[in-house]
Amino acid sequence: MSQHAAPRQLARRLLILVAGLWLAGAAVAAVAAEPTDAQRTAFKQAYAAALQGGDGWKAAASSLQGYPLYPYLEAAALTHDIRQVQRPQIEDYLKRYPGMLTASDLRRDFLTELARRQDWDNFLAMYQPGLGDALTCNALQAQLSKGSQLDFDRDLASLWAKPKLPGACDPVLSAAHDQGLLTTQRLWDRIDRAADAVQPGTINALAGWLPAGDAESARRIASALSDAGTAAVAANQWPDSPRNRQAAMLALERLARRQSVTADIAWQKLQEHFAFTPEQRNRVMYALALFHATDYDASAISRLIALPASVQTDTSREWRVRAALAQQDWTAVLAAIDAMPATQQQDGEWRWFRARALTALGRSDEAQQVLTRLAAEPTFHGFLAADRIKAPYGICPIELKGNPQRERSLLANQGLVRAFELYAVGLPRQARREWTQALDGADQDTQKQAVELAYRRGWYDRAVFTFNTGDALRYYEQRFPLASQDGLVPQAEEAGIDPSWAYAILRAESAWMADARSGADARGLMQLLPSTAALVAKRNGVTWLGGDSLYDPVTNIILGTRYLAQMAARFNGAPWLASAAYNAGPGKVDQWLEARGSLPVDLFIATIPYKETREYVARVMSFAVIYDWRQHGNAVTLSQRLTPIGQTYTLPDSHSERKLATCPVVAPVAPAEAATAAPASSMAPPASASSSAR
């Protein structure tokens, strides 16, 4: 080495070291300090003003220039004033905040406004593809205004494949019709897709463009979907044509869902009137067999067995088991399970009932083998199996370990910072959107670290929605949080119900989304309808401040626990029956008890006609075991929670049998939860009420 080489090498090393220190410092600087309470208060005030439009928000936001959510203020004001703003104002915002959700939302809202104004020049200048069907159609209308002609394959094919389109597409479809692009074949193709999707409105809208004879047949198809009973009667007077046969078949299928006996009578008449194809006959026979089973008719099992193998589905095979369970015909139960494909037989429910059938048929050794394997699983039927063979519960938690380096990297992600801050200021819907965009494409380790950061901030639903498959289901601390800030435990105790059960209901209803709202307008953590909540508040002397107060976790839990107590009192305190009533309504539970109230509990649950309610009861009761274990390190047995029908349930106390949980040699993984998306209404009949088998 030369005399000068050593100093040069030393200098190079010093330069690399300095550069590394600078980069490290830059990374630390990139992680902004946690916003203060004063900033959050100022933002809330400014945001409330921005939602009213104008510039009034700016005074309240004078100290928020560097605050992560500052762009939300201007976007809120511009959105409110969208009918007055002009393109330069919007483009200025888009230029300053490229890639932000607020910018894309503002572009979409302004394009919708430009379409309303029919300002097609500015619309085309700002339009970007991929903003939804309505704006896609607006863009086509803009092109038409310039004298362009539509090309079906280029412009309409993807839209035409959809069974339902927004009203913004009506002018475009009319133009396509006037150009002769909507041929009879294309119209029927879309009508068939609409029929499969049960969209009678789309069919009626298209019928007018068909030739006269075809139009009437199309309207009959729409009638079969919207009023199956009337259509099934009227079908006796329809000519026997292919499309009329299709309408009659659809009417029979739909009618079978609601009135299987009436559908049977109609089928006897119509099969003589129409020359149904073999496929159409099979579809009707399948519907009749399936829905006679959901009605637990005496002929249900034989009807399902008689279906051709090519017609049977997992659903029809499952209902063959349920029909046999309702009759407590254990030979038929076992035969029905054996008729299932191997993959379906591995479902925990069918393994449990295989063991039950084997035991009843004197094959206890075989049953023991099935139960031993099933008892290792942390599920409803796994817990039942553990109770049956007096084994510990197979709950095998793993710890979510933090990674400081990855945490720093995540906190430098401005989208995630905005997500956390939106949650902190009470805007969870916007927070979820920022979260999704910020973590789009992230690897599993990054997502785990993000969930841990959210969990530490009290944002619990992120774990429920992220940890939903594989080993991630074993992050029990995050998936089943013991949130004390909302007062669930003392409120449940004051209401006279088991806190573990209340936790389970909350977890199943909303997945810890305080702003959850169902299609039936059930709201908040425990998914109460405002009308129900008002009655519960009056009955319990709780001040009622209106439906929006249900988004306050404390208020929601106070009323939710009282309503749970009310349901429990109606059913001898039994939490499993009260859970069914919470989901499907107490009137439905009364009907099921009248029909099958002599069954053992596990059979009664398995024969609940509504798929949603069956799964809900099993999920809630298994969650109650897990929450009990989370609180106490052991759990009151599931069997004690499943009080036989007609017996009074006793709240757990110091004398209750409690069970330890152990980690099996091969840690079991619970199946992904059936419902971790938008919660369903808890007080109204479930979406599946019109189709018990779904």
Tell me the pLDDT tens digit for each residue of 66-116.
999 999 999 999 999 999 999 999 999 999 999 999 999 999 999 999 999
- Domain boundary assignment for the chain: 404-474, 488-690
At 627-679, the pLDDT tens digits run 999 999 999 999 999 999 999 999 998 888 899 999 987 656 655 564 444 44
Alpha carbons 605 and 616: distance in angstroms, whole number: 10
H or E element that contains 609: none
Tokens of 692: 């018990």
Concatenate the DSSP letters of all residues of 50-116 into one string. Answer: HTT-SSTHHHHTTT-TTSTTHHHHHHHHHHHTTTT--HHHHHHHHHHSTT-HHHHHHHHHHHHHHHH
> CB count, 10 Å around CB of 363?
13
Nearest alpha-carbon partner for 67 in 106, 104, 40: 40
Tell me if the domain spanning 488-690 has CATH number 1.10.530.10: yes
Concatenate the DSSP letters of all residues of 530-557 into one string. Answer: HHHHHHHHHHHT-----GGGGGSHHHHH
**Residue 514, CB half-sphere, CA atoms under 13 Å: how many?**
22
Could you give the percent of the chain with pLDDT greater than 70?
91
Nearest alpha-carbon partner for 191 in 178, 205, 172, 174: 205
Tell me if the domain spanning 404-474 has CATH number 1.10.1240: yes
Q: Of residues 509, 612, 615, 673, which has the active-site annotation?
A: 509
252 φ/ψ angles, rounded to the nearest 5 degrees: -65, -40
Q: Angle CA(638)–CA(641)–CA(645) in degrees, nearest 5?
A: 125
- In the residue annotation, 509 being an active-site residue is answered as yes
Largest separation between any pair of C-alpha atoms in the chain: 109
> pTM here?
0.90
At 2-60, the pLDDT tens digits run 444 444 454 444 344 433 434 334 444 445 678 999 999 999 999 999 999 999 999 99
Q: Are 307 and 296 in contact (CB under 8 A)?
A: no
Instruction: Indicate the residue type of 650.
Output: T
Alpha carbons 380 and 388: distance in angstroms, whole number: 12
C-alpha Rg value of the chain to the nearest Å: 30
Give the torsion through C-alpha atoms of 565, 566, 572, 573, to 10 deg: -10
Q: Are 538 and 511 in contact (CB under 8 A)?
A: no
Q: Are 465 and 676 in contact (CB under 8 A)?
A: yes
Q: Are 489 and 499 in contact (CB under 8 A)?
A: yes
Nearest alpha-carbon partner for 560 in 505, 639, 606: 505
Instruction: Indicate the residue type of 656.
Output: S
Alpha carbons 480 and 279: distance in angstroms, whole number: 47
Alpha carbons 223 and 527: distance in angstroms, whole number: 35
The DSSP call for residue 667 is -
Q: Which of the residues in the chain have pLDDT under 70?
A: 1-32, 666-694
> CB count, 10 Å around CB of 449?
22
Q: Do the first three CATH levels of 404-474 and 488-690 match, i.e. the same topology?
A: no
Q: Are 325 and 607 in contact (CB under 8 A)?
A: yes
Alpha carbons 102 and 122: distance in angstroms, whole number: 20
If phi over 0 gives left and psi between -120 and 50 gives alpha, with beta otherwise, what is residue 165?
beta
At 301-323, the pLDDT tens digits run 999 999 999 999 999 999 999 99
Instruction: Indicate the residue type of 559.
Output: L
- The predicted structure's pLDDT at residue 5: 46
